[in-house]
Amino acid sequence: MQQEIRNIAIIAHVDHGKTTLTDALMQQCGVGVEGQTMDSNPMEKERGITITAKNTSVPYKGVKINILDTPGHADFGSEVERVLRAIDCVLLVVDAQEGPMPQTRFVLKKSLELGLKPIVVINKIDKPASDAKKVHDEVFELFMELGANDEQLDFTTVYAIGRQGVAMKELNDERKDLTPLLDIILEKVPKATGDINNPFKAQVFNLAYDNFLGRIAVARIYDGVAKVGEEITVKKATGETRKGKITKIYTFNGIARVDSGTAEAGDIAMIAGFPDIFIGETFLKNADQEPMAAIHIDEPTIALNFLVNDSPFAGKEGKFVTGRQIRDRLEKELEINVGLRVDFDTDKYLVYGRGELHIGVLLETMRREGYELQVSQPQVIFHEVNGVKEEPYEELVIDVPVESSGVVMEKLGRRKAMITDMSEKNGINRIKAEIPTRGLLGYRGEFVIDTKGLGILSARYLKFGPHAGEITRRPVGSMTSMADGKSLAFSLWNLQDRGVIYILPTTEVYEGMVIGNTSKGEEMMVNPTKGKQLSNMRSSGADEAIVLVPAWEISIERGLEIMNADEYLEVTPKSVRLRKQLLTESAVSYTHLTLPTNREV
């Protein structure tokens, strides 16, 4: 007898509570452990965000519910796009205070286009400033705006507090557990379709890796039964075919893999035995069966070069430092990261991504694995349509205290942002705008400073539009070391009045390394290794205390934001440094004559 299955994905804007809700569902259904979370990746735990889509499964009233937890950040939108093809319904989680945000619109738009009927979960209703009824109306307006049909507009709403593991059909209902949500899933989510008597058919929507089995396909089975040892056909949407044999099949119980040997129509399973399998390809019993439609992914918006590190400190900290090793790692990343593209035609590997965070996470992963490399400044990808130059635009939503909104509006104006809406509630201004991606690059760090850390900035890719022209940003220059050695507190103390210092005392530096920026915008060659001259003569300033302002240390994301076109970001397992492409003072002086004077941050 075929098991009854429901397949759902949980989608939302970043930090609206998807993963917390999924963890609570697992605990209630007896497959979760206290302290266990879907975000198992160390970087996900550190950043508090979901980076990759993950599978889990919970049993409820004899029904198997497969749940796919998806990222909420726009840079990882490609993870959401492919997952939506494998499920029959989505839980759209919306924060009861913030309401619909840019990524809410993105994921909902993709769901509606696929004909899915979402179940809306208004989460975090225990927040002091929550307004569940208003958020419900905003969600309904968003459905209307995105062209939802009558059936989709008649969505079911559930109110929840994911952290407490409770859900209610009405706001005033008893807050007991998540049973109301689970009951609605069984009632509203259609049963997984497919006939176990038909020839086997499945589509790959995700990839996993095992040290013993190699690449493993995560696939939704639409028809038939998959069995270990069976020979099947892999078919691309273009019609190309190849054969292979299934060596292992896993299904899910919670987040744990279960070696099942078989998998039936309607289920989601991991299938091993195909080392060259790729996302979007179809498993078929017979070669004459029609493949599934290809999974479409939105275009990348930025590009930058990955290069072999050639600084004076090259090879001192990294384990994998050669061009071949970097190429192999990028090829491996392409197997699972469908939002990434790489051009290997030259010794500089041109990498295309969905945003600074997308690239930053890749670089952080590589450095933790022991890779050492350097990257160029991210550049926006331009298109030319009918002779007109176009660039990517992003939808921007900013929540900022009223007292900080003036400086934010001023900075957005300089960066060619077009304000589309403004509203105020409880002393917080919400600003909606359309801004060129070029104008948004390098602004997030500035935004945090301008709003004293109290502002929230969210953005998502919107469209390609007309080139916005020259964008004015805050000009600062580079403070570049002219000497090799160890930086000294005395020297940094004298330099900190000229700008912002990036390094700590006793940091090893080399000629051409950028150690800070200059407030006036000029390029400055400095000697951070210079010590205090000692003599037996007493002077008025001899006993003056050295008080250093805390250094503005470079991280990968911060470096990608502030670097200039004539600089590289050097990334190693132990350090992140900013350096000039041409290291010597004479070469930098020559470059200064041929490039713009000011660095744009």
332 inside domain:
no
The partner residues of 599 in beta bridges, in order of sequence, read 476
How long is the chain? 601
Q: Is the pLDDT of residue 541 over 60?
A: no
Most distant pair of Cα atoms in the chain: their distance: 98
Q: Are 90 and 10 in contact (CB under 8 A)?
A: yes
pLDDT at 598: 41
193 inside domain:
no
Lowest-confidence region among 79-83, 196-200, 535-539: 535-539
Lowest-confidence region among 127-141, 314-328, 409-423, 444-458: 444-458
Lowest-confidence region among 74-78, 186-190, 216-220, 390-394: 74-78
Q: Are 577 and 570 in contact (CB under 8 A)?
A: yes
Q: Are 247 and 200 in contact (CB under 8 A)?
A: no
- Report the phi/psi class of residue 239: left, alpha or beta, with left for phi > 0 and alpha for psi in -120 to 50: left
Q: Are 232 and 200 in contact (CB under 8 A)?
A: yes
pLDDT, one tens digit per residue, over 306-332 is 999 999 999 999 999 999 999 999 998
Q: Are 180 and 308 in contact (CB under 8 A)?
A: no
Which residue would you say has higher pLDDT here, 542 or 75?
Answer: 75
Domain that holds residue 46: 5-188
**CATH number of the domain to which 140 belongs:** 3.40.50.300
**CATH number of the domain to which 254 belongs:** 2.40.30.10
Same domain, 56 and 112: yes
Q: What single string gives the DSSP state of each residue in 38-80?
A: S--SHHHHHHTS--S-EEEEEEETTEEEEEEE---SGGGHHHH
406 inside domain:
yes
Q: How far apart are CA 199 and CA 141, in angstroms?
A: 43
What average pLDDT score do residues 560-587 get? 88
Same domain, 171 and 41: yes
Of 466, 495, 515, which residue constitutes the final position of a domain? 466
Same domain, 155 and 220: no
pLDDT at 441: 84
Q: Are 219 and 264 in contact (CB under 8 A)?
A: no
Encoded tokens for 309: 């590190």
Cβ neighbors of 122 (< 8 A, separation 6 or more) are 94, 96, 132, 135, 136, 139, 157, 158, 159, 160
Same domain, 171 and 224: no
Q: Up-side HSE of residue 83: CA atoms within 13 Å toward CB?
A: 27
Q: Is the pLDDT of residue 73 over 90?
A: no
564 inside domain:
yes
List C-alpha distances in Å: 551 to 152, 335, 444, 487, 493: 53, 39, 19, 13, 11
Same domain, 461 and 405: yes
Q: How far apart are CA 367 and CA 559, in angstroms?
A: 15
pTM of the model: 0.83
pLDDT, one tens digit per residue, over 427-443 is 889 999 999 988 888 88
Q: Is the pLDDT of residue 591 over 60?
A: no
For residue 445, the one-letter residue type is: G
pLDDT at 597: 40
Of 154, 188, 222, which residue constitutes the final position of a domain? 188
Q: How far apart are CA 293 and CA 217, in angstroms?
A: 17
Q: Are 241 and 234 in contact (CB under 8 A)?
A: yes
Please give the DSSP secondary-structure letter assigned to residue 18: H
Q: How far apart are CA 583 and CA 310, in angstroms?
A: 10
- Which pLDDT band, with edges at 50, 70 and 90, does 601 fall under? very low
Q: How far apart are CA 161 and CA 284, in angstroms?
A: 43
Same domain, 450 and 484: no
What average pLDDT score do residues 6-12 get? 91
pLDDT at 537: 64
Of 437, 466, 495, which residue constitutes the final position of a domain? 466
From 70, 143, 75, 98, select the one nearest 423 (Cα to Cα).
Answer: 98
Same domain, 219 and 83: no
**CATH number of the domain to which 580 belongs:** 2.40.50.250
Calculate the average pLDDT of the chain.
Answer: 87
For tokens 């299955």, the residue is 5
From 12, 8, 142, 162, select the one nearest 72 (Cα to Cα).
Answer: 12
Same domain, 279 and 411: no
**How many domains in the chain?**
4
What average pLDDT score do residues 249-270 get? 89
244 Cα distance to chain centroid: 34
| Rg, Å, the chain Cα set | 27
Q: Is the pLDDT of residue 25 over 60?
A: yes
List C-alpha distances in Å: 383 to 299, 302, 330, 470, 514: 11, 12, 25, 17, 33
Q: Is the pLDDT of residue 82 over 70?
A: yes
pLDDT at 36: 64
Q: Are 484 and 312 in contact (CB under 8 A)?
A: yes
- Report the phi/psi class of residue 339: left, alpha or beta, with left for phi > 0 and alpha for psi in -120 to 50: alpha
**CATH number of the domain to which 409 belongs:** 3.30.70.240
Same domain, 22 and 114: yes
For tokens 């403004």, the residue is 422
308 inside domain:
no
Virtual torsion, Cα 392, 398, 403, 407, nearest 10 deg: -10
Encoded tokens for 99: 């309401």
pLDDT at 43: 79
Q: How far apart are CA 193 and CA 326, in angstroms?
A: 43
pLDDT, one tens digit per residue, over 482-517 is 999 999 999 999 999 999 999 999 999 999 999 999
Q: What percentage of the chain exceeds 90 in pLDDT?
A: 44
Q: How far apart are CA 208 and CA 231, in angstroms?
A: 21
pLDDT at 207: 84
362 inside domain:
no
The partner residues of 24 in beta bridges, in order of sequence, read none
Same domain, 168 and 244: no
Q: Are 578 and 513 in contact (CB under 8 A)?
A: yes
Q: How far apart are CA 484 and CA 507, in angstroms?
A: 11
21 inside domain:
yes
pLDDT at 486: 94
Cβ neighbors of 504 (< 8 A, separation 6 or more) are 487, 551, 553
Q: How far apart are CA 242 and CA 588, in angstroms?
A: 54
Encoded tokens for 120: 């809306």
pLDDT, one tens digit per residue, over 105-129 is 888 888 898 899 999 999 999 998 8
Q: Is the pLDDT of residue 241 over 50?
A: yes
Q: How far apart are CA 249 and CA 216, in angstroms?
A: 9
Q: How far apart are CA 9 and CA 88, in angstroms?
A: 8
pLDDT at 78: 73
Q: Is the pLDDT of residue 476 over 50?
A: yes
Same domain, 142 and 209: no
pLDDT at 334: 85
According to DSSP H, which parts of 421-579 are helical?
A: 437-440, 443-450, 489-495, 556-562
Q: How far apart are CA 257 and CA 55, in angstroms?
A: 10
Same domain, 501 and 596: yes
348 inside domain:
no
Residue 575, H or E segment? none
What average pLDDT score do residues 510-531 get? 90
Q: Are 76 and 358 in contact (CB under 8 A)?
A: yes
